[in-house]
Amino acid sequence: MRALLAPGQGAQRSGMLLPWLADPAAADRLERWSDITGLDLRLLGTTADEAAIRETHVAQPLLVATALLALRRWLPTTEAVHAACGLVAGHSVGEFVAAAAAGVLTDDDAMRLVAIRGRAMSRACAPVGATGMTAILGGEDVAVAAAISAAGAVVATVNARGQVVAAGSAAALATLAANPPAGARLVALPVAGAFHTATMAAAVSDLRTAFDDITPGPVRVPMVLNRDGQITSDPGEVIAEMITQVAAPVRWDLCQAQIAASGVTEVIELPPSGTLTALARREMPTVARVPVNTPADLPGAES
């Protein structure tokens, strides 16, 4: 069985749309999604620098657009996704891609909603001052959790064994950096807020309002949820997840455990890929991994 994965914020890179725009259908979609989001996605995905695409309200629609262009180049319909994949999952904002792949959202609705999400998360950061996220690589689990708590930060993401993300105020993260857990390496992440924490409560409210206008489609491909790694075929549960997960921790470790336990033999990571297949290599070493960054990387594509 094959699982389809979509990466989250932080995976973005300059020029990531370039390999996909030779396809006229992709160019047309991108123009429509630029109108929907109010962003010049072509410019942002081809010539904009890393600083420009780091901003939350830019990075999130750009990531979803890139992944969806690749998905539709490979699997144009939900029926095609259903035939090719047994599970879908997305890391954080990647869940919008997963929901579109599963059939719960149309691609256009995914783009409209992710633009609202990015703006709402940016606004939620403003009242609380400078915040951010720091990856903690290595260290013993209990000691890592204790160091995060002692610094006044919280656990926002558990990606795998020995790979935790802390979030909080700039002061809390500075304290954590000055007092790292034994045996751990700390890396500041290229995001502009304490995502997946209670500071995102206002964004949850904005998303709930935005989703009021959505009539979800049926789940044609079961989706693995960030909150607990459980598999669902309930569209209402998918929608609830997408509204609330901005203020709740991402448990990608549980997602990977579920994927492995479900008998998956291959994972395909949509672009910009590399992050999730690297985690899979470590946590699911017997599962084949296909990171997709160009059309030639697509399963069955001619090199």
Tens-place pLDDT, residues 61-76: 999 999 999 999 999 9
Looking up tokens 């903690």 gives 136
Strands 223-224 and 231-232: antiparallel
pTM of the complete model: 0.95
Task: Fill in the DSSP letter of residue 296.
Answer: G
Question: Mind listing the pLDDT tens digit of every residue in the chain (303 residues)?
Answer: 999 999 999 899 999 999 999 999 999 999 999 999 999 999 999 999 999 999 999 999 999 999 999 999 999 999 999 999 999 999 999 999 999 999 999 999 999 999 999 999 999 987 777 899 999 999 999 999 999 999 999 999 999 999 999 999 999 999 999 999 999 999 998 777 899 999 999 999 999 999 999 999 999 999 999 999 999 999 999 999 999 999 999 999 999 999 999 999 999 999 999 999 999 999 999 999 999 999 999 997 643
> Hey, what are 126's tokens?
């403003």
Residue positions annotated with a catalytic role: 92, 196
Fold exhibited by the domain 128-188: Alpha-Beta Plaits (3.30.70)
- CATH code of the domain made up of 2-125+198-297: 3.40.366.10
The predicted-structure confidence for 18-31, as pLDDT tens digits, reads as follows 999 999 999 999 99
The span from the first CA to the last CA of the chain, in angstroms, equals 24
How buried is 168 (Cβ within 10 angstroms: 0-12 exposed, 13-18 middle, 19+ buried)? Answer: buried
Could you tell me which of 112, 115, 109 has the C-alpha nearest to residue 59? Answer: 115
> Hey, what are 218's tokens?
């049926």
Q: Name the strand (E) or helix (H) holding 241.
A: helix 235-244
Q: Where are the domains of the chain?
A: 2-125+198-297, 128-188
129: left (phi over 0), alpha (psi -120 to 50) or beta: left
160 φ, ψ to 5°? Answer: -170, 175
With H, G, I as helix, E, B as strand and everything else as coil, classify residue 22. coil
